[in-house]
Structure 1
Amino acid sequence: MQDSLRIVSLLERVLPEYVAPGFVQHSTWLQASPGIGLPSQQGFEGAVNPLVALLEESSGLSVTYWVMRQQALNGDIDTLNDLAWVWLNGKYWRADPALAGRLLRIAALQGSAAACFNLAQQHYFGRGVAVVYARVASFYRRAFDLGLVQAAARLGDLYDEQANAADVEPDWQREPKRAFDWYLQGAHKGDAGCRFEVGYRLLHGVDVPRDLKAGQYWLELAAVTGITAAAEELAVFHRFSGKTLRYLYWRDQAVSLGSERAINMKADDQLQVVQQA
C-alpha cells in the first residue's frame, strides 16, 4: 500500500498537468526512426491501433491527455506505458525521451511487459540514452519473461547482428547460436516471424545443421499465418525438389499473399506451358 502511494506521489510530480499538441519535425532521431515501441492497447492485426485511433480522432488532445493522466495516477500501468510511448515518439505532443524513460521504468517495475519492450527500443535506437546492446537484451528478456512473445524475435535479431556503428558498444559480437535459440523459443510460443527464421535456417543450414523436415515444418506454420516469405521459400524448395503439386500449392499460396516473386514464377510457368503447346 505504501509503495502504491509513493508511486502515485511520484507520478503526480513528474506527469505534467497539460501538454502542448504538435509533432516536432526538427528532431533528427525522430525522423530517423519514427514509431518505435509498443502501446499497451493492441488491436487486431492489420487494424488501426486503438490508442492511435483515440489520439488521431480526438477533438481536444488536452482533454484526452487529462483523462489518460488520471488513469495513470489511479494505477493503470497500461496507460502509463501508453503515455510514455507518446513522449518517446513525440507525434501527438512534444517528445521527451527522458520523461518517457522514467515513466517506462516505473511501469516496468510494476510488471508491464510493454514498458520493458519499450525500454529496450529506447536503448536500441538511442532516444535520449546511450545505445548499449547488453542493456537492450536485458530489457527484451524481461519483456519476454513477462509474456511478450514478440520480444523473442527482437532478441534473435539482436544476437544475429554484428554491431559496428560508432555509437554502439564495440565489444558486442554476433552470437548465431543464441540468436537461433531465441527464435526457437519464440517459434514454440507461436510467433510467426520466429517460425520463419527457424524454418529458413534449418532448411538452408544457416548457422545450424541442415534439417529439411524440420525446416519445412516451421516454414509451413509461418506460411499459414500469413508470412509471405515462408510460402515463397516452400514454393522454391519444392520446385527444385521436383515435387510439382507441392510447388504449385505453395506458389499459389504466396501469390494470394501478394508475393511479386511468386507472381513472376506463375507467369514463367504459364509461358512455358504456351511454348510447349
Structure 2
Amino acid sequence: MRYAVALAVAMAGLQAMPAQGAGQRETGLEETLAQRCDAAAASPFDRDRPSGVPGVPSHEIDPAIAIPACMAAVRAAPEVPRLWYQLARADLAARRFDEFRDMAARAEALGHAGGAHALGQSHEAGHHGARDLAAARRLYEKAADAGFAPAMVDLGVMLEDGTGGTADVAAANAWYLKAAEAGEVAAMNLLGDNLVAGNGIGRDAALGARWYRRAADKGDGFAMASLGLLLELGNGVPRNMKEANAWYRKSAVAGNRRGMRLLALNLETGNGLERDPRGAVSWYKRAIEAGDVMSMRLISFSYFNGTGVPKDPQEGLYWLRKAAEAGDPAAMVTLGLRYTAGSNVPLDFERGLGWLRKAAEQGEPRAEAALAVLGDAPPGRSACRSVLGDYHALDARYGALPARFSGTLPAFRAVCAGFPGLKEDDVRRCHLLNPDGAGDFVRRVRKQCR
C-alpha cells in the first residue's frame, strides 16, 4: 500500500507540471524520472549509471522511495535497461521476490549486465520454484564477462565451492582479484582469506593483510576483524596488540559480530587491554544479538565462573546448550564432557557421548579424542573424566588461538588412560593452556588422576 500511494502521488505530480511542447515535455519528464530512479537505486558498480551518480549500496535502498520512482521511470522510458535493473534492486530491498525476478528478466533481455546478475541471484535463491544453480552460474559468468563486479564475486564463490558446475579455486581467485580491483569489498575479503590460507593461490599473508586493510579503510567490519587477527597473531604483519585491539573495536562499533567477539575475548583475558570482564560480557551479549554462535559458548563460561557477571551455572548451561544446538562443535564437546562428568549438569553419560558424537561427525578432533578416552572408560575413572572435561572447557574457551594448546590433549589423554600423574612438561603445557589459573588445575589433575 505504501508503494501504491507513493506512486500515485508521483504520477499526480507529473500531471501537474506546466505544459510544454509535446516532444520537449516527454524528454524533460523522462530525464527527471530517470534522475529520481538513479538517485534512489543506481548500483555503484553499474557502468551505465550517469556520471556524477555515486550509486546506492543494496542495504541502503529505501524501497518506499525507490519503487515508485523507478516504476514511473520505466513507464516513461521502457527502452532504458538500467531503469529496469534499478527497479529490480528496489523490489529486492522490499523482499518482493516475484517482482524482483520479473524486473531482472526485463533488464537482462535488454542486455544489461546488472540484470543478468540479478536474474542469476533469483535462480540461485529459487524465487520461482526450484533453485537452478547451473543457470545462475551461467548468468553470473555473462555479467562478470561484461565487467559487473558483484557478479564476479558470486561467480567466484560458485567456482570455489563447485556449485552449478565444476570447482576451480584458481579461477575463483582470479575473479576475486578483478572484483577487488574494481572496488568490491566482498572480493577483497574473499581474496584476503584465500591468500592467508593459501587456498588455490600461493600463501601470502602479507598481501592478504593489504587487501583486508583496503576493505577496512572502506568501512568494512569483517575486514577490520580479519586485519586485527593477523596483527594479534603476527601473521604477515608485525605483531601489534594495540593496533589489533583498535581494529577489533572499530569492527565491533561497525556492527560486526566477529569483531565484537574478539574484542570481548581480549577484554576478558586482558590480552593487550586492561582486563574488563564486565565489558567483555557486554560485547558477548551484543555479538549474540547479532547472531554470533561462538559468543553463546564463550558467555556460558562467564556464567559458570562468575566472570563479569554473578556466578550462575544454570544460565551458563542455557547458553552452552544454545551454542551446541546452533551447531557449534566446540560447544558440543564441552556440553558432552559436562554430561559425562556431571559438571553443573545431571550426570548423563549416554547423553554426553551423544553430543561428542555429533561434534565428531563435524570433524571436531577434540570430540574424536574424547570419545577414544571415554568410550570404554570404566566408572572408576569418573573423576579423571571430570578433569578432562575441565580441559576441554578451557580449550573451547580459548579455541581462537589453537597454537596455545599444541600437544596438550595427548598429555591429558595419557593421564586419563593410565593415571600416571603429570610430568613437568605437562605442567608447563597446562600453564600455557590456562596461565591465570593453572596451579589449581594442575593440583586437581595430580590429586584425582594419579
* TM bucket normalised to smaller: 0.5 to 0.7
Contact 1:41 1:78 in 2 (8 A): no
After TM superposition, the structure 1 = structure 2 runs for residues 53-72 of structure 1, keeping only pairs within 5 Å, are 53-55=95-97, 58=98, 65-72=101-108
After TM superposition, the structure 1 = structure 2 runs for residues 31-180 of structure 1, keeping only pairs within 5 Å, are 42-43=58-59, 50-51=91-92, 53-55=95-97, 58=98, 65-90=101-126, 92-163=128-199, 172-180=201-209
Deviations 1:158-203 (A, max 9, x none): 223355xxxxx7xx54332332222222112221111001112212
Q: Which whole-Å CA distance do the structure 2 matches of 1:251 and 1:199 have between them?
A: 20
1:252 aligns with 2:282: yes
Does the C-alpha gap of structure 1 residues 142 and 202 become closer, same or farther in structure 2, counting only changes over 3 Å? same
Residue 94 of structure 1 deviates from its aligned partner by: 4.7
Q: Indicate the RMSD between aligned Cα atoms, in angstroms.
A: 3.3
Does the C-alpha gap of structure 1 residues 132 and 240 become closer, same or farther in structure 2, counting only changes over 3 Å? same
- Specify which structure has the bigger relative contact order, considering alpha-carbon pairs within 8 angstroms and separated by 6 or more residues: 1
Residue 90 of structure 1 deviates from its aligned partner by: 4.3
Q: What amino acid maps onto 1:211 in structure 2?
A: N
Q: Any unmatched runs of 5+ in structure 2?
A: 1-55, 62-89, 289-294, 312-450
Residue 113 of structure 1 deviates from its aligned partner by: 1.5
1:204 aligns with 2:245: no
Residue 224 of structure 1 deviates from its aligned partner by: 0.7
Q: Which whole-Å CA distance do the structure 2 matches of 1:66 and 1:206 have between them?
A: 47
Q: Which has the larger radius of gyration?
A: 2
Aligned partner of residue 180 in structure 2, secondary structure: helix
Residue 240 of structure 1 deviates from its aligned partner by: 3.6
Aligned partner of residue 43 in structure 1, secondary structure: helix
1:181 aligns with 2:210: yes
Does the C-alpha gap of structure 1 residues 81 and 108 become closer, same or farther in structure 2, counting only changes over 3 Å? same
Q: Which whole-Å CA distance do the structure 1 matches of 2:278 and 2:300 have between them?
A: 12
Q: Which whole-Å CA distance do the structure 2 matches of 1:216 and 1:114 have between them?
A: 31
Does the C-alpha gap of structure 1 residues 104 and 271 become closer, same or farther in structure 2, counting only changes over 3 Å? closer
Superposition TM-score, scaled by structure 1 size: 0.65
Aligned partner of residue 127 in structure 1, secondary structure: coil
Q: Which whole-Å CA distance do the structure 1 matches of 2:139 and 2:267 have between them?
A: 51
Aligned partner of residue 257 in structure 1, secondary structure: helix
Q: Which whole-Å CA distance do the structure 2 matches of 1:212 and 1:65 have between them?
A: 47
Deviations 1:7-65 (A, max 9, x none): xxxxxxxxxxxxxxxxxxxxxxxxxxxxxxxxx983359xxx9538222xx4xxxx875
Q: What amino acid maps onto 2:282 in structure 1?
A: D
Residue 255 of structure 1 deviates from its aligned partner by: 2.0
More helix by share: 2
Which segment is superposed worse, 253-262 or 234-243?
A: 234-243
Contact 2:101 2:118 in 1 (8 A): no
The residue aligned with 1:29 is none
Superposition TM-score, scaled by structure 2 size: 0.42
Match of 1:262 among 294, 299, 311: 299
Contact 2:92 2:100 in 1 (8 A): no
What percent identity do the matched residue pairs reach? 22
Contact 2:263 2:283 in 1 (8 A): no
Q: What amino acid maps onto 2:209 in structure 1?
A: F
Contact 2:205 2:235 in 1 (8 A): no
Aligned partner of residue 96 in structure 2, secondary structure: helix
Contact 1:234 1:247 in 2 (8 A): no
